[in-house]
Amino acid sequence: MRGITSSICLLLVFGLAKGKPQYGPPAPDTLSGCPAYTHDCVPYYQCIDGDINTSGAGLIDVRIKPQKECINPEYPDVPGLCCRIPGATVPPPPPTPAPLQTCKGGLVCVEQGQCRPDGTVNTDGSGLIDTRIYSSCYVDTVHHVVGVCCQPPRPPPTPPPTPAPLTVCPTTQECVDEGACALQGGLPATYPYSKCYIEGGNYGIGVCCNPPIQVIDYCPSGSTCVPESVCQGDMLDSNNNFSPYGSGAIWQHCSGAANGPGVCCQNPYDPLVAAPTCGVRNSPLDLRIQTAIQKNEASFGEFPWQAIIFFRNFTYKCGASLVYDKWLVTGAHCVAGYKYGDFKIRLGEWQVDKYDEPLPYIDVDIASITIHPQFNKHNLHNDVALIELVTPVQLQYHINTVCLPPPGYLPAPGTRCFASGWGKDAFQGQYQAILKKVDVPFVDHYYCQELLRKTRLGKYFLLDQSLLCAGGEENKDACTGDGGGPLVCEDPATGQYLLQGIVAWGINCGQKDVPGVYADVQYFRDWIDTIILGTHAPVSNPY
């Protein structure tokens, strides 16, 4: 056999075929270059016509020219070729999955919520958007008292143990019946409502109360009656002396202040007057008595155009914006389905749970409501309404107008704008006592549409030309309760604020890359001017 011994061993290098089976055409062995599973790299003389010689007999020269040379690492000096392994087969491919159900007749497959009952794709968001208002309901169905759906209050915390009544009240306070302390002129104690024994217990238990102070009609010469919070100088005390703030004195009260009894002040704050033009955002006042302002809370009078729409029983409904001394702009979805007599307007409000603000709010009756004739309550297209007041309001520091943008004017994308209102701080958050503000970036119309298509609205959603977007930053958004309120952006040329948007809807609140959606005020500017100038009769509500 020309030097070839009869004890040739078969070189099956099984270690090269380790690993999991592969389906489809055989893959080359990573070391030898041979197809896996069906071929192995053996010395060329062990391969006959492409098959491994398993008998070991009659070994002669290779019959055919190797189709593919290879190297066996165990015999690196011996020429090799790829040869079929006896009985080896390619593993069968996995079963072909059944084809997905396809839609016939030009129909497309969308999520169930994105298909209307008539079988067409929902492109406008009807039924999928979250409006920024409370759900209305009847508190009393017999008398038709309107209310809103609200989460029940949390259980009250366990009160601390009641301290034993005091035998003697501190300093100049007197122990009186609790009802007597609340009479006009009677002031609560510094430590309010400390329980005490009236005349040693002979007349039961009362409260420690500062003695009543007479309210004078006129302040001494050189002083003015103002709210205590705005006095920057000395104040008249109960001993008719002018004392500095913080001296511990009890102040004499005077009538004639802007918001209830005030103090006689020798150096009052500069008179708070209305700005001479629209769109002036007021700076924080230098108040002596400061309310602790938290992040995203507006200061008193910062947005003087901010208004509240109340039901006549003072249930909160929506926000609105004062644009003329007799006209406000709000969302049509806030007032659709109601009569103008169902509502009142409040202007100049700031902290809804307090009354001792530097200047008082005013409540005004409504003369008419005009809803855009093309308003659609399902998708909030053309979501704008005008409210006419019974009488013009006197513009003040904290009650003033916002400018309307000219037709066609939109801020540059990324411009920081402000939305404001008393709504929730998140989709399941808490409602606000102090007017809230949030700065949000203005978003390009097409880019906003692309972002909203990634939500439950789906890839066929079309953002209507009557809407615009702002936001898309995490935890910064208008929310439930802010509906109808303003989105204002500063005009870089004048520094005045323009009413660019009306809070309309969104997908939840404050989610990253999900902008809030607003009615586009400039789009309606011609219609607004037509109504306010009186050249067009108010349109009745089509819904």
**Using H for helix, E for strand and C for coil, what is the string for 61-76?**
CCCCCCCCEEEECCEE
Dump pLDDT digits (tens) for 125-168: 777 776 766 666 666 666 666 666 666 666 667 766 666 677 77
The C-alpha atoms of residue 320 and residue 345 are separated, in whole angstroms, by 9
Which pLDDT score, from 0 to 100, does residue 38 have? Answer: 80
Q: Which tokens hold the place of 145?
A: 């008292």
Q: Is the pLDDT of residue 240 over 50?
A: yes
Mean pLDDT of the chain: 78
Q: Report which of residues 475 and 260 the model is more confident about.
A: 475
- Put simply, whether the predicted model's pTM sits higher than 0.85 gets the answer no
Domain regions of the chain by residue span: 14-84, 416-523
Which pLDDT score, from 0 to 100, does residue 352 have? Answer: 83
Give the DSSP per-residue string, 134-176: PPEEEEETTTTEEEE--PPPPPPPPPPPPPPPBSS-STT-EEE
Which pLDDT score, from 0 to 100, does residue 46 have? Answer: 65
Dump pLDDT digits (tens) for 286-334: 554 444 456 688 988 999 999 999 998 888 899 999 999 999 999 999 9
The C-alpha atoms of residue 50 and residue 70 are separated, in whole angstroms, by 13
Q: Is the pLDDT of residue 118 over 90?
A: no
Please check whether residue 164 is in contact with residue 197, taking contact to mean a CB–CB distance below 8 angstroms.
Answer: no
- For the ranges 171-185, 199-213, 378-392, 453-467, which has the lowest average pLDDT? 171-185
CA atoms within 13 A on the CB side of 134: 23
Q: Is the pLDDT of residue 27 over 60?
A: no
Query: Cα 466 to chain center, whole Å?
Result: 21
Query: Cα 155 to chain center, whole Å?
Result: 27
Q: Is the pLDDT of residue 34 over 90?
A: no
Instruction: To the nearest 10°, report the CA torsion of 244, 247, 252, 255.
Output: 50
Dump pLDDT digits (tens) for 68-99: 567 777 667 766 767 677 667 777 777 776 66
Dump pLDDT digits (tens) for 415-425: 999 999 987 55
Dump pLDDT digits (tens) for 454-466: 988 888 899 999 9
pLDDT above 90: percentage of residues in the chain: 34
Architecture per CATH, domain 416-523, reads as Beta Barrel (2.40)
